[in-house]
Amino acid sequence: MESKAKLFGHAIHPMLIVFPLGLLPVAVIFDIIGLVTKRGQWHDVAFYLIAAGVLGGLLAAIFGTIDWVAIPAGTRAKQIGLTHGAGNVVVVVFFGTSWLLRYAAPAAPSTLAVALGCVGLALALFTAWLGGELVERLGVGVDKGAHLNAPSSLSDSPAGENAIPAQPGAGQS
């Protein structure tokens, strides 16, 4: 099933998920460093990473929803996509709440603010795995006819046509 929201021939949702998947875990790591070192600047940085990660997550959700709507009803992919998306909404709510709890004093977050980030990260690992299941196992967001010698996404050719011929001996050990 092809993605419905594309930019230069590639699905937009996976382009955007790298931001929350990178920023939010690093925020948790920085909080842990801040707790261990008792230096507030680590928590300050975590505060801004969370803000950027939440915004990135909200933007990715828009394009994920566009793709999810296109998944046929009654399929395993539709249910997994729903769980993936709903779980990520909860992740964004946890981190967003953590950010709000820090707002008055970013360098000295409450235990609850840090705990929400940790729980949000644990849930994000599961929802990321669900996203991988959708793409890697179920082929959601993969171009129809995709294969190892498909033409560039910048060409006018669909993935299933005008394949680049395999080089003799390529892929052999």
- Coil, helix or strand at residue 63: helix
My answer on whether 86 and 152 are in the same domain is no
| Tokens of residue 43, six digits | 């928590």
- Per-residue pLDDT of 105-148, as tens digits, reads 999 999 999 999 999 999 999 999 999 999 888 888 877 777 77
My answer on whether 37 and 99 are in the same domain is yes
Quote the pTM value: 0.85
My answer on whether 35 and 76 are in the same domain is yes
Tell me: pLDDT of 59 over 70: yes
At 167, the pLDDT band (50, 70, 90 cuts) reads: low
Query: To which residue do tokens 């996976």 refer?
Result: 14
My answer on whether 101 and 160 are in the same domain is no
- Coil, helix or strand at residue 7: strand
The values of phi and psi at residue 144, to 5°, are: -60, 130
My answer on whether 52 and 100 are in the same domain is yes
My answer on whether 46 and 88 are in the same domain is yes
Whole domain around residue 164: which residue ranges? Answer: 147-173
My answer on whether 111 and 172 are in the same domain is no
My answer on whether 24 and 68 are in the same domain is yes
Q: What is the average pLDDT across 88-109?
A: 98
My answer on whether 11 and 43 are in the same domain is yes
My answer on whether 12 and 54 are in the same domain is yes
Query: To which residue do tokens 């001996």 refer?
Result: 169
DSSP 34: H
At 152, the pLDDT band (50, 70, 90 cuts) reads: confident
What are the CA-CA distances from residue 93 to residues 8, 12, 73, 100 (Å)?
31, 22, 27, 10
Q: Is residue 81 part of a domain?
A: yes
Q: Is residue 142 part of a domain?
A: no
User: Total domain count for the chain?
Assistant: 2
